[in-house]
């Protein structure tokens, strides 16, 4: 078979193709999407009174020294002077109490 003309057959011209494409494309919507109308949500944090009190207590405890220097000095002096004595019964009772 031999094609003798570059002309499209009747009813199948370029105008017909563009008409088909226009029919396929959806019409442009003039309405704005609902999401665009609403403002973006805002993050919010509420701290209860109890949690504030707890945070204050934690800060107060953190401010305390780790070692009670006055107590350590007192014990050192008692040991150095020989006045420090250990009651074995009290130690045994405390050990058994913790078990």
| Structural domain count of the chain | 1
Strands (E), the chain: none
Residue 95 lies in a domain: yes
Distance of CA 3 to the CA centre of its chain: 71
Q: Give the domain extent around 84.
A: 67-99
**Per-residue model confidence (pLDDT) at position 10:** 59
Determine the average pLDDT of the residues in 35-56: 84
Q: Which two structure tokens, joined as six digits, stand for 77?
A: 């002096």
Q: pLDDT, tens digit, for every residue of 55-95? A: 999 999 999 888 999 999 999 999 999 999 999 999 999 99
Q: pLDDT, tens digit, for every residue of 19-43? A: 555 555 555 555 555 556 788 888 8
Residue 10 lies in a domain: no
Residue 56 lies in a domain: no
Residue 90 lies in a domain: yes
Residue 80 lies in a domain: yes
Residue 28 lies in a domain: no
Residue 73 lies in a domain: yes
């Amino acid at each position: 078979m031999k094609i003798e003309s570059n002309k499209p057959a009747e009813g199948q011209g370029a105008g017909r193709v563009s008409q088909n494409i226009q029919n396929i494309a959806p019409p442009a919507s003039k309405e704005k999407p609902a999401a665009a109308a609403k403002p973006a949500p805002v993050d919010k944090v509420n701290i209860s009174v109890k949690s504030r009190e707890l945070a204050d207590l934690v800060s107060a405890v953190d401010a305390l020294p780790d070692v009670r220097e006055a107590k350590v000095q007192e014990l050192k002096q008692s040991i150095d002077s020989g006045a420090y004595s250990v009651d074995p019964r009290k130690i045994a009772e405390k050990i058994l109490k913790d078990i």
